[in-house]
Amino acid sequence: MEKKNLGGPEKFLFLRLSAYKKIAVVSVFAAMLLAVSIELLLGGYIQSLTGGMLHPRHSRAMADAFWAALGAWMMLAITLKRSQGRPYLAAATEKELLDALAGKSAHYRNREEKVLRFFASQQDVARLMKGHLKSIINDTDTAAGRIIGKAQGIDGSMGAMQSTISSLNGQSEALAARSRGTIADNSGTIKDLRDYIDRRLIEADEDYRTVLALAKKARSMVSLIDLLKEISDQTNLLALNAAIEAARAGEHGRGFSIVASEVRKLSTQSEQASNKVGQAMTQIADDIERQFSAKLDQQNKKKESALFQSLEAQLAGLAESYTRLEGLNRQILDQVSMSSSEVAAEVIELLADVQFQDIVRQQIELVIKTVADTQAFIAGLKGCMGMAEKCDGACRLPEFDVGEINSSYVMEKQREVHRTALAPAKAAAKDQGWAGTSKAAGGVTFF
Amino acid sequence: MAKTIMVIDDSASIRQVVNITLKKAGYDVVEACDGRDALGKLTGQKINLMVCDVNMPNMDGISFLKALKASQGYRFTPVIMLTTESQESKKQEGKEAGARAWVVKPFKPEQMLEAVSKLILP
């Protein structure tokens, strides 16, 4: 603070003193001078009063004490006067002091105006804070509503997925049952086919042997033809002999000669027929052997059997693959079902977490209330400062009690924050601990 | 027929959370935003249980509870108080007003469902 210069030379210490101090110093010196000048008289007076009972040295000491007390009283009086704002003024310094007081009054008036302006700005600050905090509440409320909506959407989708999975499970079960039936039928059919083919192979083998026997018989008939041919030759020879004998018989043998000639013709025809039959039989045997040899070839039968075995193996592999596919399908459905159940449970937990919006809202609402209380107190203080009349004794405004906020708390968390925040600096340094919101669940009490 | 539960809370998000939790468990839910709104909605319909907040505008939970206990139709309806407040003195106040259980927010859905299934009227 700048000290007001009251004027005059400054080389003497006394002149640099304030008016009050000058008065005090002068008073002390005046008291001492008076003590020195009147001490003897007073000492003698005391001496006379006590009738000479006191030693003169003691009387002087008493006089010293009296004057010292008088000096101290004067200094005290001056100080009291000063503290009451009505200093004991020497006429010479009155104007200077009044000027100083006027300067200080202007200074305090400026301060007061500044404080009032600050109070006014605080009203706006409070309104701003309330506005921002309410905006936060609205925003978090909207966000919470949106989260709940989205969570419900996810929950709905999970429900739909679960019902789809359930339906797919049913369909899969029915399909699997049908497939198992088809696989069993296929196995039966394959077995029947196998039996049939085995039977057919045996039959074909028998057919092969029959046909070979037939061909053999046909070829064996060729030897019969040779026999017929031989008979025919013999017949022809016999007919020739008969014709010779008929010629030898003359007229009587003419009829027999005709018979012999006819027999020869018949023999010739018989031989021709035998040849033709023989050729035909050989042709038949050749045809049989040629026609059936390919079909009844044992090598071919083995190939067919191998092909069938391959087909049987493929069908069995197909059935096995289908069974494995069905197992995989079931695993996938089970996994998806389990995952969707977990997601549904997490959605419920997520919804439960939205409660923190309400908790935070209540905490912010308390801050808004505290701001409003502070605002009301400032308004009262401002009104008080604007009043012309002075306070009679102590200020009528109650003190602003931070502890009163405690009564407005609606949760233990707020009380904990209150305790921690207003604790000494070492606790305040650990503000991370109370800045967040606890996620611990509350608990249930039954009455 | 599903049992009906009335949820009374000034926070829309809390009402929704409780509503979803209860509906998923098979209950029907009626909502009210404070005690006064709840009293206005009690028009003779069967309510098997109520879940009520404590700090609410217009009519707080304790006042609502007292009004409910003074009524004819719903005096025996069990009420679960759902609040952020966990002070024993407040719980005692709720108990004296006729509450059957005191659930502190944030609640776990299974805790709420356990309390509901334990107290709900047949």
Q: Do B106 and A352 touch (CB under 8 A)?
A: yes
pLDDT at res. B100? 96
Please check whether residue A145 touches B, CB under 8 A. Answer: yes
Å from B106 to nearest chain A CA? 5
Contact at 8 Å (CB) between A351 and B21? Answer: yes
Contact at 8 Å (CB) between A81 and A87? Answer: yes
Could you tell me the pLDDT band of residue B121, with boundaries at 50, 70 and 90?
confident
- In this prediction the pTM is 0.60
Please check whether residue A446 touches B, CB under 8 A. Answer: yes
Residues of A (338-367) whose Cβ lies below 8 Å from B: 348-349, 351-359, 361-362
pLDDT at res. A175? 83
pLDDT at res. A394? 73
- One digit per residue, the tens of pLDDT, for chain A of length 447 reads 334 444 444 556 677 667 767 777 777 777 777 766 666 566 566 566 555 555 666 666 666 777 777 777 776 666 666 555 554 555 557 788 888 888 888 888 888 888 888 888 888 888 899 999 999 999 998 999 899 988 888 888 888 888 888 888 888 888 888 888 888 887 788 888 888 888 887 888 888 888 888 888 888 887 888 888 888 888 888 888 888 888 888 888 888 888 888 888 888 888 888 888 888 888 888 888 787 776 666 677 777 778 878 888 888 888 888 888 888 888 888 888 888 888 888 888 888 888 889 999 999 999 999 999 988 888 888 888 777 777 777 777 788 888 888 888 988 888 888 888 888 755 555 544 444 444 455 689 998
Kindly state the tokens that stand for A374: 């502070």
pLDDT at res. B76? 93
Chain A residues within an 8 Å CB radius of B91? 445
Q: Helix, strand or coil for residue A374?
A: helix
* Predicted interface score ipTM higher than 0.90: no
CA dist., res. B20 & res. B110, Å (int): 13
Å from A399 to nearest chain B CA? 28
For chain B, the three-class secondary structure string (H helix, E strand, C coil) is: CCCEEEEECCCHHHHHHHHHHHHHCCCEEEEECCHHHHHHHCCCCCCCEEEECCCCCCCCHHHHHHHHHHCCCCCCCCEEEEECCCCHHHHHHHHHHCCCEEEECCCCHHHHHHHHHHHCCC
Please check whether residue B77 touches A, CB under 8 A. Answer: no
Give the domain CATH number at B34: 3.40.50.2300
CATH numbers and ranges of domains, chain A: 13-92 (no CATH), 158-344 (1.10.287.950)
Does position B102 have pLDDT exceeding 90, yes or no?
A: yes
Q: Do A356 and B16 touch (CB under 8 A)?
A: no
Å from A402 to nearest chain B CA? 21
Domain coverage including residue B56: 4-119
Q: Helix, strand or coil for residue A242?
A: helix
Kindly state the tokens that stand for A354: 């939205």
Does position B35 have pLDDT exceeding 90, yes or no?
A: yes
Q: Identify the DSSP state of A446.
A: E
Of A334 and B35, the structure prediction assigns the larger pLDDT to B35
Q: Do B118 and A445 touch (CB under 8 A)?
A: no
Residues of A (44-73) whose Cβ lies below 8 Å from B: none
Q: Do B84 and A441 touch (CB under 8 A)?
A: no
Does position B31 have pLDDT exceeding 60, yes or no?
A: yes
Q: Do A355 and B107 touch (CB under 8 A)?
A: yes
Å from B120 to nearest chain A CA? 13
Contact at 8 Å (CB) between A420 and A433? Answer: yes
Chain B residues within an 8 Å CB radius of A343? none
* Number of domains, chain B: 1
Chain B residues within an 8 Å CB radius of A447? 94-95, 99-102
CA dist., res. A219 & res. A216, Å (int): 5
